[in-house]
Amino acid sequence: MTDCKKIADLIFPDVTKTPEYYEEKYPKRELPEGARVTRFAPSPTGYLHFGGLYAAFASKFTAASTNGVFLLRIEDTDKKREIEDGVSCIVSGLSAFGIEPDEGVTGFDSEKGEYGPYIQSKRRDIYRAFAKKLVEEGKAYPCFCTAEDLEKIRESQESEDIKGYYGKYARCRDLTDEEITEKINSGAPFTVRLRSEGDITRKITFDDLIKGKIEMSENVNDVVILKTDGIPTYHFAHVVDDHLMRTTHVVRGDEWIASVPLHIELFKALGFRPVKYAHIAPLMKEENGGKRKLSKRKDPEANVTYYIEKGYPKESVQEYILTILNSNFEDWRRANKTESVSKFPFNFKKMSVSGALFDLVKLNDVSKNVISLMNAEQVYGYVTAWAKEYDGELYSLLTSNPAKAKAILNIDRENPKPRKDIACWSEVRTYLSYFYNEIYSPDISFPENIQPENAVLILEKYKELYSENDTKDEWFAKIRELCTECGYTPNVKEYKANPGAFKGHVGDVTSVIRVAVTSRVNSPDLYYIMKILGKDEVGSRINTAIDCLIRGLPRH
Ligand code: GLU
C-alpha cells in the first residue's frame, strides 16, 4: 500500500505552505458580473512578435470591455532559451503601442498587483506546494528515468500512434515506496510526473471562443510537471498561475490547442475550475498568390521594433490591429469616425478562425488616415520624439524653429478633407525636405506636356506678379491672369471642351510653379508652401529653375 503522504514529504522537505494558504492569499476577485480576467503570458525568449502584440490586444480588449483585468505574466521556466533583455523588450514593446497591463510585470524587476509575483521564476514555492498536493493524492509521482532511458523509450515507440510516457512505457509509475525512498535517499535525480487518468478512447470537448466546439482525445501522457531541478514545466506552471491569478479567459496562439486535453486534465487533477479558451490562428501574409504565416525569420515586420523604428504612431498600430482583429471594425469606424478605439465592442466571434491577413499596404493606408486626423501640434510632438532617437538631423531642423515646423505640418490639416501623405514618421524627412535647404536637393524636371519655353514664360511672369502679402484669393486671381497671359486657360472645363485653343490649363501653370519651388509635381497647398519659404527663397528657386530651363533649351 503506497503511502503517498510519506513520499510527498520525502520529495518536498522544503515545502512549508499549503495550497489552502495560497487560495486564501489570492482570493477570488471582486469584479462585476461578466468581467473577464485575461493575461498575456509570453516567454522572454526573443523580441516581441507582431502576432504576440495582436494576441495581447485581444486579451486587453476583452478584459477592458467587460470591466475586467488584463495582466502581464512572464513565463520564464525555460532559462536556457531566455534572452538577456527579454522582459524589457516585452514590456516596452507593449507600452510603445499603448498596452499598459492593469496588473503584472511592469519592467525588469518591477510589478504591480495583489496576485503576484507575476514572473514564474519567483513562484517556485507556489508550484511546489501544488505539486506536493498532487503527490499526496497519488495524482503525481517521481520518475527516475534518465535521458538515455527516455531515448530508449522513444526508439521503441516508432510504431506507436501515441508517443510519450504512458501505459507500459511509464516505467516509474508503479514503483514501490521502498524503491522510491531508496532512490531519493541515494540522491538519484528525478522529475515529478502527472499520473494521467486519461483514456485514449475517450474524448473531451471544449468551446473555443474563436474556433467553436472542439473535440479531442483525452491526454494519456504522464507528463513532467516538475523538472529535475524542481522547476515546473510550462504546462503545470501556467495552470497553477491561471488559477491563482483568477484568470477566466486564456487567449493564446492556436499552437497550444494540442495541449488543451492535458491542460484540462491538470486543472481537474488540481481541483481547479478550468478557464475558457480563445485560440488565435497565426497572422498570415500573401505571397506569390498564396498565403503563409508571418514569419519571424523572413519578415522584418514580424518584429514590433520595426514599427517603432519606422515611427508608426501607436494610434495607427492600434487602429490597424483592430481592423484585422474584428471583421466588423471598419464598419464600426465608419459609423464612429472620431470615437476612441477603446469604445469598440470587441468580440472573439468576429475573429478569423483560419488566420487574419497581415498587410503592410493596408497598415500604411490606415496610418495615413490616422495621422491626417491629428493636429499639427500632435504631429510635431510625435515626429520630434521619433527623430530625436532615429534622425538627429531632422530633429535639429525641426526643433531649431518649432513655429516653422508646425506651420509646415499644419498645411492641409485640420480641415474636412485633410491630405493623407504620411504613414510613419520616417517619411517626414522626405515629405518636408524642400522646406530646408540643408536637406533639399533640387531636381527640376517639368511634366513632359509642358514646353520648356512655356515654362520659362510662366516663371518669368510669375516672378513679377508674386507678392508675399497676397491673400490666397488674391494670389489665385493672379494665377488666373497669368494663365490667360501665357496662352493657358484658368478653366479646366473650357480646356477639355476645346483643347486645341489653349496651350494647357491652370493645372499645368501651377504645376510649373510647383516643380520650380519644390521639385515635386505633387505637394500640399502651394500658396502656403510659398508663404513659409518666404519671398526671397521662392524668388531664388524660380531663378534657378529658369536657369536650368534656359540651359536645356535648344539653340536657335
Ligand atoms: N509562455 C507561452 C508562450 O510564450 C504562453 C502560452 C499561454 O499563453 O498559455 O507561448
CA 255 to ligand 1: nearest atom: 10
Please count the other Cβ atoms lying within 10 Å of the Cβ belonging to residue 469.
8
Structure confidence at residue 556 (pLDDT)? 45
Q: What percent of the chain has pLDDT over 70?
A: 99
Alpha-carbon distance values, 175 to 147, 172, 284 (Å): 18, 5, 49
Q: Is 222 in the pocket of ligand 1 (CB under 6 A)?
A: no
Per-residue pLDDT tens digits for 92-145: 999 999 999 999 999 988 999 999 999 999 999 999 999 999 999 999 999 999
Most ligand 1 atoms within 8 A of CB, residue of 77, 252, 262 to mutate = 252
Structure confidence at residue 552 (pLDDT)? 80
Q: Distance between CA 451 and CA 456 in Å, rounded?
A: 9
Q: Is 75 in the pocket of ligand 1 (CB under 6 A)?
A: yes
Alpha-carbon distance values, 476 to 467, 480, 531 (Å): 11, 6, 14
Q: Is 237 in the pocket of ligand 1 (CB under 6 A)?
A: no
CA 251 to ligand 1: nearest atom: 8
CA of 251 to the centre of ligand 1 (A): 9
Superfamily of domain 4-16+124-280 in the CATH hierarchy: HUPs (3.40.50.620)
Q: Is 73 in the pocket of ligand 1 (CB under 6 A)?
A: no
Q: Is the pLDDT of residue 14 over 50?
A: yes
Task: Name which of 352, 322, 246 is nearest 62 in CA terms.
Answer: 322
Structure confidence at residue 1 (pLDDT)? 58
Residue for grid cell 510527498: 8
Q: Distance between CA 72 and CA 40 in Å, rounded?
A: 5
CATH 1.10.10.350, the chain: domain bounds = 452-552
Structure confidence at residue 444 (pLDDT)? 87
Q: How confident is the model at residue 554 (pLDDT cuts 50, 70, 90)?
A: low
Structure confidence at residue 142 (pLDDT)? 98
CA 45 to ligand 1: nearest atom: 4
Residue nearest to atom 10 of ligand 1 (CA): 42
Per-residue pLDDT tens digits for 310-364: 999 999 999 999 999 999 999 999 999 889 998 999 999 999 999 999 999 999 9
CA of 43 to the centre of ligand 1 (A): 7
How many CA atoms within 13 Å lie on the side-chain side of 392?
Answer: 0
Q: Is the pLDDT of residue 419 over 70?
A: yes
Q: Is 43 in the pocket of ligand 1 (CB under 6 A)?
A: yes
CA of 74 to the centre of ligand 1 (A): 9
Q: Distance between CA 198 and CA 327 in Å, rounded?
A: 38
Per-residue pLDDT tens digits for 198-223: 999 999 999 999 999 999 999 999 99
Structure confidence at residue 296 (pLDDT)? 87
HEC profile for 9-27?
HHHCCCCCCCHHHHHHHCC
Structure confidence at residue 553 (pLDDT)? 64
CATH number of 452-552: 1.10.10.350
3-state SS class at 207: strand
Q: Distance between CA 34 and CA 397 in Å, rounded?
A: 52
CA of 249 to the centre of ligand 1 (A): 13
Q: Is 194 in the pocket of ligand 1 (CB under 6 A)?
A: no
Q: Distance between CA 93 and CA 347 in Å, rounded?
A: 24
Q: Is the pLDDT of residue 29 over 80?
A: yes
Q: Is 252 in the pocket of ligand 1 (CB under 6 A)?
A: yes
CATH 3.40.50.620, the chain: domain bounds = 4-16+124-280
Q: Is the pLDDT of residue 188 over 50?
A: yes
Q: How many residues does the chain have?
A: 556
How far is CA 285 from its chain centroid? Answer: 15
Per-residue pLDDT tens digits for 352-403: 999 999 999 999 999 999 999 999 999 999 999 999 999 999 999 999 999 9
Most ligand 1 atoms within 8 A of CB, residue of 49, 75, 249 to mutate = 75
Q: Distance between CA 451 and CA 343 in Å, rounded?
A: 55
Q: Is 55 in the pocket of ligand 1 (CB under 6 A)?
A: no
Q: Is 249 in the pocket of ligand 1 (CB under 6 A)?
A: no
* pLDDT, the chain, mean: 95
CA of 355 to the centre of ligand 1 (A): 18
Q: What is the mean pLDDT of residues 217-232?
A: 97
Alpha-carbon distance values, 194 to 46, 149, 153, 177 (Å): 30, 18, 18, 17
CA of 283 to the centre of ligand 1 (A): 16
Residue nearest to atom 3 of ligand 1 (CA): 42
Structure confidence at residue 82 (pLDDT)? 85
Predicted model pTM: 0.92
For 218-243, the DSSP string reads: PP----EEE-TTSPBPHHHHHHHHHH
The C-alpha cell of 177 is what? Answer: 515506496
Q: Distance between CA 463 and CA 545 in Å, rounded?
A: 12
CA of 252 to the centre of ligand 1 (A): 7
Q: How confident is the model at residue 555 (pLDDT cuts 50, 70, 90)?
A: very low
Most ligand 1 atoms within 8 A of CB, residue of 118, 256, 263, 267 to mutate = 256
Q: Running DSSP on this structure, what letter comes out for residue 356?
A: P
CA 39 to ligand 1: nearest atom: 8
CA 55 to ligand 1: nearest atom: 8
Residue nearest to atom 2 of ligand 1 (CA): 42
Q: Distance between CA 396 and CA 353 in Å, rounded?
A: 48
Pair type for strands 284-287 and 290-293: antiparallel
CA of 139 to the centre of ligand 1 (A): 25
CA 75 to ligand 1: nearest atom: 1
